[in-house]
Amino acid sequence: MAASTARNREVRLTRHPVGALRAEDFIVADTPMPVPGPGELLVRNRWFRVSVSTRLMAQEDAQTVQGIPFPPLRIGDTLADAAIGEVVAVGPTCDLPVGSVVMHPFGWRDYAVVAAPHATLLDADADPAAHLGHGWTAYAALTQGIRIEAGDTVFVTSGAGAIGAMAGQIAKRLGAGRVIGSTSGRDKADWMRVELGYDAVVTRGGDPLIDQLAWAAPQGIDVIVDMVGGEQLAAALSLARNGARCVILGALTAELDPRRAGLRAPVELDSFQIVIKGITLRGFSACEEASDAFAAWLHHLAAWQRDGGLRLPCTVLEGLDAAPLALQEACAGRLRGVVLVTL
């Protein structure tokens, strides 16, 4: 087997981050070439995803979190995330042909041994951004987490991120009348309007967020898709209309806290207004609650790309050595869309 003489490398945690995550918290290590056992595949990875949730899992006291599909990291552990690769060898009792293209949960390495039930067979020309990106998460949130009604004004926090860059586009195609996003700065805001079709964008560091949002949504907000929490969630709820729906998919204020990442994301909300206005708030994990949405997402994606030019925004970096820096830059909010590494 050609792969038997190849070098294998993988990215490992060398120290728990203190403050902001840095590329130096990881090392690219040489390892023995893995060998597939019964019912296993050896996959040569071609693409893998870089998720900011890795910051939370790299914390020294990290705990397993429902909805994050990889475990806490201890010193010396190899990172993991969704990946696409080519089967180069199979173990006994595994009948998947060599040369097959599969998706699996063991990125951050050149080669991965994958149990056959954890490998999803893909077409050879499958788009990595469609399968590794979070379009299906946004689709599930807007079809199963809450519902978009014709003419809704929708506010998406972290609108340039992996989920937000898709949520704004999908909301428009589900009937939203006006879509507003939030992001960190002017360059991203311009990109969101031009490339993703956002009608307005509010940014951190300028005028008070509540004032920007009130100007962008003078008639109020019908739907909130929140990945951030904190001030942004509070501002959006204060401007919510009667019967507004809010789906909460994450809390980046906690996950990417520059002082110390954690699972607590306190925010002060006016609960009386939630009652008076009949606002619905729902926490939602697509991994846990909508695993059946992926096929529907791919079906709609194909139609939307044909008819409406829906984009799959991503930042692509090349080579395993670039992956730790990609994670650092993603956690610092300097990248756009889903972050992918190609090998």
The number of domains in the chain is 2
Cα of 153 vs its chain's centroid, Å: 23
Average pLDDT over residues 135-142: 95
Tell me, yes or no, whether 77 and 175 share the same domain.
no
Is pTM beyond 0.85 here?
A: yes
Domain that holds residue 22: 2-132+313-342
Residue-level pLDDT at 5: 59
Identify whether residues 218 and 335 lie together within a single domain.
no
How much is the pLDDT for 3? 45
pLDDT digits (tens, 9 = 90+) for 149-205: 999 999 999 999 999 999 999 999 999 999 999 999 999 999 999 999 999 999 988
Q: Do 15 and 116 have their domain in common?
A: yes
Euclidean distance between CA atoms 148 and 126, whole angstroms: 29
Residue 19 in tokens:
């403050």
Cα–Cα distance measured from residue 276 to residue 258, given in angstroms and rounded to the nearest whole number: 36
Q: Based on the domain organization, do 179 and 237 belong to the same domain?
A: yes
254 and 325 part of one domain: no
Does residue 308 form part of some domain?
Answer: no
| 28-74 pLDDT, tens digit each | 999 999 999 999 999 999 999 999 999 989 999 888 877 777 789 99
The answer on 277 and 151 residing in a single domain is: yes
CA dist 23 and 341 (Å) reads: 15
Report whether pLDDT(110) > 90: yes
The domain spanning residue 64 has which CATH number?
A: 3.90.180.10
* CATH number of the domain encompassing residue 210: 3.40.50.720
